[in-house]
A and B are shown apart, each in its own frame.
Chain A
Protein backbone atom coordinates (compact mmCIF):
# COMPACT_ATOMS: atom_id res chain seq x y z
CA UNK A 1 0.00 0.00 0.00
CA UNK A 2 1.40 3.42 -0.95
CA UNK A 3 2.63 5.42 2.03
CA UNK A 4 -0.07 7.53 3.65
CA UNK A 5 -2.93 5.90 1.80
CA UNK A 6 -6.03 5.16 3.88
CA UNK A 7 -7.29 1.60 4.27
CA UNK A 8 -10.08 0.38 2.03
CA UNK A 9 -13.22 -0.59 3.95
CA UNK A 10 -16.00 -2.71 2.47
CA UNK A 11 -19.42 -1.39 3.52
CA UNK A 12 -22.30 -3.67 4.49
CA UNK A 13 -25.78 -2.41 5.25
CA UNK A 14 -28.70 -3.97 7.05
CA UNK A 15 -31.78 -2.07 5.96
CA UNK A 16 -34.28 -3.52 8.45
CA UNK A 17 -33.97 -5.54 11.65
CA UNK A 18 -34.87 -8.81 9.97
CA UNK A 19 -32.72 -8.28 6.85
CA UNK A 20 -29.18 -9.60 6.49
CA UNK A 21 -26.24 -7.28 5.90
CA UNK A 22 -25.42 -6.85 2.21
CA UNK A 23 -22.37 -5.35 0.62
CA UNK A 24 -23.02 -2.01 -1.09
CA UNK A 25 -19.49 -0.90 -2.02
CA UNK A 26 -16.27 0.30 -0.48
CA UNK A 27 -14.50 3.47 0.57
CA UNK A 28 -11.22 4.68 2.01
CA UNK A 29 -11.00 5.95 5.57
CA UNK A 30 -8.40 6.65 8.24
CA UNK A 31 -10.04 4.30 10.73
CA UNK A 32 -13.19 2.27 11.34
CA UNK A 33 -15.05 5.10 13.04
CA UNK A 34 -14.37 7.44 10.14
CA UNK A 35 -15.33 4.68 7.74
CA UNK A 36 -18.78 4.41 9.31
CA UNK A 37 -19.17 8.18 9.09
CA UNK A 38 -18.05 8.09 5.44
CA UNK A 39 -20.42 5.23 4.71
CA UNK A 40 -23.35 7.34 5.92
CA UNK A 41 -22.23 10.22 3.70
CA UNK A 42 -21.46 8.09 0.69
CA UNK A 43 -24.19 5.49 0.56
CA UNK A 44 -27.05 6.45 2.83
CA UNK A 45 -27.83 10.09 2.29
CA UNK A 46 -31.50 9.31 1.65
CA UNK A 47 -32.53 5.89 2.85
CA UNK A 48 -33.06 4.86 6.43
CA UNK A 49 -30.87 2.01 7.62
CA UNK A 50 -30.86 -0.21 10.68
CA UNK A 51 -27.15 -1.04 10.89
CA UNK A 52 -23.88 -0.46 9.04
CA UNK A 53 -20.77 -2.63 9.10
CA UNK A 54 -17.39 -1.61 7.76
CA UNK A 55 -14.76 -4.30 7.29
CA UNK A 56 -11.12 -3.64 6.27
CA UNK A 57 -10.73 -5.09 2.80
CA UNK A 58 -7.70 -7.17 3.80
CA UNK A 59 -9.80 -9.00 6.40
CA UNK A 60 -12.03 -10.51 3.73
CA UNK A 61 -11.07 -13.84 2.19
CA UNK A 62 -12.96 -14.77 -0.93
CA UNK A 63 -13.34 -17.95 -2.94
CA UNK A 64 -11.83 -18.28 -6.41
CA UNK A 65 -14.40 -17.38 -9.05
CA UNK A 66 -14.03 -20.35 -11.35
CA UNK A 67 -16.59 -23.10 -11.64
CA UNK A 68 -14.37 -25.67 -9.92
CA UNK A 69 -14.48 -23.74 -6.66
CA UNK A 70 -18.00 -22.40 -6.49
CA UNK A 71 -21.18 -24.33 -5.82
CA UNK A 72 -22.64 -24.73 -9.28
CA UNK A 73 -25.70 -26.63 -10.30
CA UNK A 74 -23.88 -29.27 -12.28
CA UNK A 75 -26.73 -31.69 -11.74
CA UNK A 76 -30.44 -31.58 -11.28
CA UNK A 77 -31.10 -30.49 -7.70
CA UNK A 78 -34.86 -30.41 -7.90
CA UNK A 79 -35.01 -33.21 -5.34
CA UNK A 80 -33.87 -30.70 -2.71
CA UNK A 81 -36.14 -27.88 -3.78
CA UNK A 82 -39.81 -27.41 -2.92
CA UNK A 83 -40.66 -27.06 -6.61
CA UNK A 84 -39.26 -30.53 -7.18
CA UNK A 85 -42.41 -31.89 -5.54
CA UNK A 86 -45.65 -31.34 -7.36
CA UNK A 87 -48.02 -32.43 -4.60
CA UNK A 88 -50.98 -30.23 -5.49
CA UNK A 89 -52.60 -32.56 -8.06
CA UNK A 90 -52.22 -35.46 -5.63
CA UNK A 91 -53.91 -33.54 -2.82
CA UNK A 92 -56.62 -32.58 -5.28
CA UNK A 93 -57.28 -36.23 -5.98
CA UNK A 94 -58.10 -36.61 -2.28
CA UNK A 95 -60.13 -33.39 -2.36
CA UNK A 96 -57.69 -31.65 -0.02
CA UNK A 97 -55.73 -28.42 -0.45
CA UNK A 98 -51.97 -28.39 -1.02
CA UNK A 99 -49.90 -26.64 1.65
CA UNK A 100 -47.07 -24.14 1.17
CA UNK A 101 -44.59 -22.91 3.72
CA UNK A 102 -45.48 -19.30 2.88
CA UNK A 103 -49.01 -20.11 3.93
CA UNK A 104 -47.83 -21.57 7.27
CA UNK A 105 -45.46 -18.66 7.91
CA UNK A 106 -48.20 -16.18 7.11
CA UNK A 107 -50.63 -17.87 9.46
CA UNK A 108 -48.13 -18.13 12.32
CA UNK A 109 -47.01 -14.50 12.09
CA UNK A 110 -50.49 -13.10 12.25
CA UNK A 111 -51.37 -12.93 8.59
CA UNK A 112 -54.43 -15.17 8.82
CA UNK A 113 -54.39 -18.50 7.00
CA UNK A 114 -56.27 -21.74 7.54
CA UNK A 115 -56.55 -21.32 11.29
CA UNK A 116 -58.12 -17.88 11.26
CA UNK A 117 -61.81 -17.38 11.31
Chain B
Protein backbone atom coordinates (compact mmCIF):
# COMPACT_ATOMS: atom_id res chain seq x y z
CA UNK B 1 0.00 0.00 0.00
CA UNK B 2 1.32 3.46 -0.85
CA UNK B 3 1.79 6.09 1.80
CA UNK B 4 -1.16 8.09 0.41
CA UNK B 5 -3.49 5.11 0.66
CA UNK B 6 -2.39 4.37 4.19
CA UNK B 7 -3.00 7.97 5.14
CA UNK B 8 -6.44 7.95 3.53
CA UNK B 9 -7.36 4.71 5.37
CA UNK B 10 -6.10 6.17 8.60
CA UNK B 11 -8.16 9.34 8.24
CA UNK B 12 -11.27 7.32 7.35
CA UNK B 13 -10.80 5.37 10.56
CA UNK B 14 -10.41 8.58 12.56
CA UNK B 15 -13.46 10.17 10.99
CA UNK B 16 -15.56 7.08 11.70
CA UNK B 17 -14.62 7.44 15.35
CA UNK B 18 -12.57 4.23 15.38
CA UNK B 19 -9.67 3.95 17.80
CA UNK B 20 -5.96 3.71 17.06
CA UNK B 21 -3.73 1.28 18.98
CA UNK B 22 -0.02 1.58 19.81
CA UNK B 23 1.05 -0.93 17.15
CA UNK B 24 -1.31 0.25 14.39
CA UNK B 25 0.16 2.15 11.48
CA UNK B 26 -0.02 5.89 12.12
CA UNK B 27 1.39 8.95 10.33
CA UNK B 28 4.51 10.40 11.98
CA UNK B 29 2.58 13.59 12.48
CA UNK B 30 -0.03 11.80 14.62
CA UNK B 31 2.66 9.99 16.60
CA UNK B 32 4.61 13.19 17.26
CA UNK B 33 1.52 15.11 18.38
CA UNK B 34 0.61 12.28 20.74
CA UNK B 35 4.12 12.16 22.17
CA UNK B 36 4.07 15.91 22.70
CA UNK B 37 0.67 15.83 24.41
CA UNK B 38 1.16 12.73 26.58
CA UNK B 39 4.75 13.59 27.53
CA UNK B 40 3.60 17.05 28.64
CA UNK B 41 0.66 15.52 30.51
CA UNK B 42 2.94 13.02 32.27
CA UNK B 43 5.54 15.51 33.46
CA UNK B 44 2.80 17.96 34.49
CA UNK B 45 1.45 15.27 36.81
CA UNK B 46 4.88 14.59 38.27
CA UNK B 47 5.80 18.25 38.64
CA UNK B 48 2.31 18.92 40.02
CA UNK B 49 3.09 16.68 42.99
CA UNK B 50 5.88 19.01 44.14
CA UNK B 51 3.81 22.06 45.12
CA UNK B 52 1.22 19.73 46.61
CA UNK B 53 3.60 17.84 48.87
CA UNK B 54 4.81 21.12 50.35
CA UNK B 55 1.38 21.48 51.95
CA UNK B 56 1.43 18.15 53.77
CA UNK B 57 3.28 19.44 56.88
CA UNK B 58 1.32 22.71 56.78
CA UNK B 59 -2.19 21.29 56.30
CA UNK B 60 -4.47 22.06 59.27
CA UNK B 61 -5.69 18.56 60.22
CA UNK B 62 -4.45 14.98 60.04
CA UNK B 63 -7.28 14.13 57.65
CA UNK B 64 -6.22 16.89 55.26
CA UNK B 65 -2.61 15.70 55.49
CA UNK B 66 -3.63 12.14 54.65
CA UNK B 67 -5.78 13.34 51.76
CA UNK B 68 -2.90 15.44 50.40
CA UNK B 69 -0.53 12.51 50.65
CA UNK B 70 -3.04 10.37 48.80
CA UNK B 71 -3.28 13.05 46.11
CA UNK B 72 0.51 13.23 45.73
CA UNK B 73 0.60 9.44 45.33
CA UNK B 74 -2.13 9.66 42.68
CA UNK B 75 -0.28 12.36 40.69
CA UNK B 76 2.95 10.35 40.66
CA UNK B 77 0.98 7.24 39.71
CA UNK B 78 -0.67 9.10 36.83
CA UNK B 79 2.77 10.31 35.74
CA UNK B 80 4.03 6.71 35.63
CA UNK B 81 1.07 5.44 33.64
CA UNK B 82 1.31 8.28 31.13
CA UNK B 83 5.08 7.96 30.74
CA UNK B 84 4.58 4.33 29.71
CA UNK B 85 2.29 5.50 26.91
CA UNK B 86 4.82 8.12 25.78
CA UNK B 87 7.56 5.46 25.87
CA UNK B 88 5.59 3.06 23.66
CA UNK B 89 5.04 5.86 21.14
CA UNK B 90 8.71 6.88 21.30
CA UNK B 91 9.97 3.37 20.57
CA UNK B 92 10.61 4.02 16.85
CA UNK B 93 12.84 6.90 17.94
CA UNK B 94 14.78 4.67 20.32
CA UNK B 95 13.86 6.85 23.29
CA UNK B 96 12.88 5.38 26.63
CA UNK B 97 12.21 6.46 30.20
CA UNK B 98 15.64 7.96 30.89
CA UNK B 99 15.45 10.11 27.74
CA UNK B 100 11.91 11.28 28.47
CA UNK B 101 12.81 12.27 32.02
CA UNK B 102 16.02 13.95 30.89
CA UNK B 103 13.89 16.07 28.53
CA UNK B 104 12.17 17.53 31.56
CA UNK B 105 15.42 18.52 33.20
CA UNK B 106 16.87 19.85 29.94
CA UNK B 107 13.79 21.97 29.28
CA UNK B 108 12.76 20.02 26.16
CA UNK B 109 9.26 19.35 27.42
CA UNK B 110 6.70 21.82 28.74
CA UNK B 111 4.59 21.34 31.83
CA UNK B 112 1.70 23.19 33.43
CA UNK B 113 3.51 26.10 35.06
CA UNK B 114 0.22 27.32 36.45
CA UNK B 115 0.74 24.98 39.41
CA UNK B 116 4.00 26.74 40.20
CA UNK B 117 2.90 30.24 41.10
CA UNK B 118 3.02 31.62 44.65
CA UNK B 119 0.54 29.98 47.03
CA UNK B 120 1.01 31.86 50.30
CA UNK B 121 -1.97 30.54 52.30
CA UNK B 122 -3.94 27.36 52.95
CA UNK B 123 -6.75 28.95 50.95
CA UNK B 124 -4.43 28.95 47.91
CA UNK B 125 -3.91 25.22 48.40
CA UNK B 126 -7.70 24.87 48.47
CA UNK B 127 -8.28 27.06 45.44
CA UNK B 128 -5.62 25.16 43.47
CA UNK B 129 -7.37 21.89 44.32
CA UNK B 130 -10.75 23.40 43.46
CA UNK B 131 -10.11 25.56 40.39
CA UNK B 132 -6.81 24.37 38.88
CA UNK B 133 -7.55 20.69 39.40
CA UNK B 134 -11.09 21.45 38.25
CA UNK B 135 -9.73 22.85 35.00
CA UNK B 136 -7.42 19.87 34.57
CA UNK B 137 -10.36 17.51 35.15
CA UNK B 138 -12.39 19.22 32.42
CA UNK B 139 -9.49 18.83 29.97
CA UNK B 140 -8.93 15.21 30.92
CA UNK B 141 -12.63 14.37 30.72
CA UNK B 142 -12.60 15.67 27.15
CA UNK B 143 -9.66 13.36 26.36
CA UNK B 144 -11.76 10.31 27.36
CA UNK B 145 -12.96 10.54 23.76
CA UNK B 146 -9.45 10.58 22.30
CA UNK B 147 -8.84 8.66 19.08
CA UNK B 148 -5.71 7.08 20.62
CA UNK B 149 -7.17 4.13 22.52
CA UNK B 150 -4.32 3.52 25.01
CA UNK B 151 -4.59 7.16 26.14
CA UNK B 152 -8.38 7.07 26.38
CA UNK B 153 -8.27 3.81 28.37
CA UNK B 154 -5.76 5.14 30.85
CA UNK B 155 -7.70 8.36 31.21
CA UNK B 156 -10.70 6.37 32.37
CA UNK B 157 -8.62 5.23 35.29
CA UNK B 158 -7.08 8.65 35.89
CA UNK B 159 -10.39 10.49 35.77
CA UNK B 160 -11.92 7.98 38.20
CA UNK B 161 -9.14 8.80 40.67
CA UNK B 162 -9.50 12.53 40.03
CA UNK B 163 -13.03 12.18 41.37
CA UNK B 164 -11.56 12.15 44.87
CA UNK B 165 -9.37 15.18 44.03
CA UNK B 166 -12.44 17.08 42.95
CA UNK B 167 -14.39 16.29 46.13
CA UNK B 168 -11.33 17.08 48.24
CA UNK B 169 -10.87 20.51 46.61
CA UNK B 170 -14.52 21.35 47.09
CA UNK B 171 -14.39 20.21 50.68
CA UNK B 172 -11.45 22.52 51.52
CA UNK B 173 -13.07 25.50 49.79
CA UNK B 174 -16.47 24.83 51.39
CA UNK B 175 -14.90 24.60 54.84
CA UNK B 176 -13.28 28.00 54.35
CA UNK B 177 -16.47 29.50 52.92
CA UNK B 178 -18.42 28.29 55.94
CA UNK B 179 -15.78 29.63 58.33
CA UNK B 180 -15.00 32.95 59.98
CA UNK B 181 -14.77 36.22 58.08
CA UNK B 182 -10.98 35.82 58.30
CA UNK B 183 -11.21 32.45 56.53
CA UNK B 184 -13.64 33.80 53.93
CA UNK B 185 -11.26 36.64 53.32
CA UNK B 186 -8.35 34.21 52.80
CA UNK B 187 -10.49 32.37 50.28
CA UNK B 188 -11.37 35.56 48.40
CA UNK B 189 -7.72 36.61 48.21
CA UNK B 190 -6.69 33.21 46.87
CA UNK B 191 -9.41 33.38 44.20
CA UNK B 192 -8.10 36.82 43.24
CA UNK B 193 -4.62 35.36 42.80
CA UNK B 194 -5.68 32.36 40.69
CA UNK B 195 -8.55 33.45 38.46
CA UNK B 196 -6.47 35.01 35.70
CA UNK B 197 -4.16 32.00 35.55
CA UNK B 198 -7.23 29.83 35.00
CA UNK B 199 -8.27 31.91 32.00
CA UNK B 200 -4.78 31.33 30.61
CA UNK B 201 -4.84 27.63 31.50
CA UNK B 202 -7.04 26.64 28.54
CA UNK B 203 -4.93 28.46 25.96
CA UNK B 204 -5.73 31.13 23.39
CA UNK B 205 -9.03 31.34 21.53
CA UNK B 206 -7.12 31.15 18.26
CA UNK B 207 -5.44 27.77 18.68
CA UNK B 208 -1.92 27.03 17.51
CA UNK B 209 -1.19 24.70 14.61
CA UNK B 210 -0.51 21.67 16.79
CA UNK B 211 -3.77 22.09 18.69
CA UNK B 212 -5.69 22.41 15.42
CA UNK B 213 -4.08 19.25 14.06
CA UNK B 214 -4.94 17.46 17.30
CA UNK B 215 -8.57 18.34 16.66
CA UNK B 216 -8.40 17.01 13.10
CA UNK B 217 -6.92 13.73 14.34
CA UNK B 218 -9.49 13.67 17.17
CA UNK B 219 -6.70 13.33 19.71
CA UNK B 220 -8.74 16.04 21.40
CA UNK B 221 -12.34 16.86 20.65
CA UNK B 222 -12.95 20.38 21.96
CA UNK B 223 -11.41 23.77 21.30
CA UNK B 224 -9.60 25.83 23.93
CA UNK B 225 -12.53 28.23 24.01
CA UNK B 226 -15.10 25.44 24.45
CA UNK B 227 -13.13 24.13 27.43
CA UNK B 228 -12.82 27.60 28.97
CA UNK B 229 -16.56 28.18 28.55
CA UNK B 230 -17.37 24.86 30.23
CA UNK B 231 -15.05 25.83 33.06
CA UNK B 232 -16.55 29.28 33.65
CA UNK B 233 -20.04 27.85 33.36
CA UNK B 234 -19.33 25.36 36.15
CA UNK B 235 -17.22 27.44 38.47
CA UNK B 236 -18.36 31.08 38.23
CA UNK B 237 -21.90 30.37 39.52
CA UNK B 238 -20.48 28.25 42.35
CA UNK B 239 -18.01 30.93 43.44
CA UNK B 240 -20.84 33.46 43.47
CA UNK B 241 -23.05 31.06 45.43
CA UNK B 242 -20.31 30.92 48.07
CA UNK B 243 -20.56 34.71 48.25
CA UNK B 244 -17.16 35.18 46.61
CA UNK B 245 -16.30 37.77 43.98
CA UNK B 246 -14.61 36.96 40.68
CA UNK B 247 -11.79 39.47 40.11
CA UNK B 248 -12.95 40.22 36.58
CA UNK B 249 -16.06 42.37 35.99
CA UNK B 250 -16.28 41.03 32.43
CA UNK B 251 -17.30 37.58 33.69
CA UNK B 252 -20.98 37.43 32.89
CA UNK B 253 -23.16 35.23 30.76
CA UNK B 254 -24.81 36.55 27.62
CA UNK B 255 -28.47 35.66 28.22
CA UNK B 256 -29.05 35.15 24.50
CA UNK B 257 -26.10 33.01 23.45
CA UNK B 258 -25.17 31.53 26.83
CA UNK B 259 -21.60 32.57 26.08
CA UNK B 260 -19.49 33.74 29.02
CA UNK B 261 -17.46 36.94 28.81
CA UNK B 262 -14.03 37.32 30.42
CA UNK B 263 -11.03 39.62 30.25
CA UNK B 264 -8.13 38.27 28.22
CA UNK B 265 -5.33 37.16 30.55
CA UNK B 266 -1.86 38.60 30.11
CA UNK B 267 -0.98 36.16 27.33
CA UNK B 268 2.57 37.46 26.86
CA UNK B 269 3.44 37.00 30.52
CA UNK B 270 2.06 33.48 30.85
CA UNK B 271 3.29 32.30 27.45
CA UNK B 272 6.78 33.43 28.37
CA UNK B 273 6.43 31.49 31.63
CA UNK B 274 5.53 28.28 29.80
CA UNK B 275 8.21 28.71 27.16
CA UNK B 276 10.99 29.14 29.72
CA UNK B 277 9.51 27.15 32.60
CA UNK B 278 9.88 30.42 34.45
CA UNK B 279 6.88 30.13 36.75
CA UNK B 280 7.98 31.69 40.05
CA UNK B 281 8.72 28.27 41.56
CA UNK B 282 9.24 26.22 38.41
CA UNK B 283 13.04 26.26 38.53
CA UNK B 284 13.24 25.55 42.25
CA UNK B 285 10.99 22.52 41.82
CA UNK B 286 12.87 21.40 38.74
CA UNK B 287 16.00 21.48 40.91
CA UNK B 288 14.29 19.13 43.38
CA UNK B 289 13.37 16.88 40.49
CA UNK B 290 16.93 17.08 39.16
CA UNK B 291 18.35 16.09 42.52
CA UNK B 292 15.96 13.14 42.75
CA UNK B 293 16.66 12.04 39.17
CA UNK B 294 20.44 12.46 39.17
CA UNK B 295 20.94 11.54 42.81
CA UNK B 296 19.09 8.26 42.47
CA UNK B 297 20.61 7.29 39.15
CA UNK B 298 23.11 4.95 40.82
CA UNK B 299 20.21 3.12 42.49
CA UNK B 300 18.49 2.55 39.15
CA UNK B 301 21.75 1.35 37.66
CA UNK B 302 22.50 -0.96 40.58
CA UNK B 303 19.02 -2.49 40.36
CA UNK B 304 19.50 -2.94 36.65
CA UNK B 305 22.70 -4.91 37.22
CA UNK B 306 21.26 -6.87 40.10
CA UNK B 307 18.12 -8.05 38.33
CA UNK B 308 18.55 -11.55 36.93
CA UNK B 309 17.50 -11.85 33.33
CA UNK B 310 14.80 -14.54 33.03
CA UNK B 311 16.54 -16.33 30.16
CA UNK B 312 19.76 -16.58 32.16
CA UNK B 313 17.86 -17.94 35.17
CA UNK B 314 16.22 -20.71 33.21
CA UNK B 315 19.19 -22.03 31.32
Which residues does A use to contact B, with CB under 8 Å?
17-20, 51, 79-82, 84-85, 87, 90-91, 93-96, 98-102, 104-105, 107-110, 114-115, 117
Contact = CB atoms under 8 A, between A and B. Distances in A.
B146 to A, nearest CB: 10
A109 B152 CA distance: 11
A26 to B, nearest CB: 20
Contact of A108 (B67, B141, B160, B171): B141
Contacts of B242: 94, 96
B164 A81 contact: yes
Interface in B155-170: 156, 159-160, 162-164, 166-168, 170
Contact of B141 (A82, A94, A104): A104
Contacts, number: 98
B170 A20 contact: no
Nearest to A107: B230
A115 B230 contact: yes
B177 interface: yes
A99 to B, nearest CB: 7
A94 B243 contact: yes
Given A17-B19, A82-B166, A104-B166, 11 more contacts: A82-B164, A87-B171, A91-B174, A94-B243, A96-B237, A98-B170, A101-B159, A101-B162, A104-B234, A108-B222, A114-B233
A96 B153 CA distance: 32
A109 B230 contact: no
A101 B315 CA distance: 51
A71 B61 CA distance: 25
Contacts of A104: 137-138, 141, 166, 234
Contacts of A93: 178
Given A94-B242, A101-B162, A104-B141, A79 B230 contact: no
A98 B258 CA distance: 21
Contacts of A51: 21
Nearest to B137: A104
B234 A18 contact: no
Contacts of B137: 101, 104
A100 B163 contact: yes
Interface string B253-277: 0000010000000000000000000
Contacts of A18: 19, 149, 152-153, 156
Interface of A is mostly: loop
B232 to A, nearest CB: 10
B168 to A, nearest CB: 6
A105 B222 CA distance: 13
Contacts of B44: none
Contact of B142 (A81, A96, A109, A114): A109
B288 interface: no
Nearest to B166: A101
B308 to A, nearest CB: 13
B226 to A, nearest CB: 9
Given A18-B153, A94-B243, A115-B229, A110 B145 contact: yes
5 contacts: A85-B171, A96-B237, A101-B159, A101-B162, A115-B233
Contacts of A95: 241
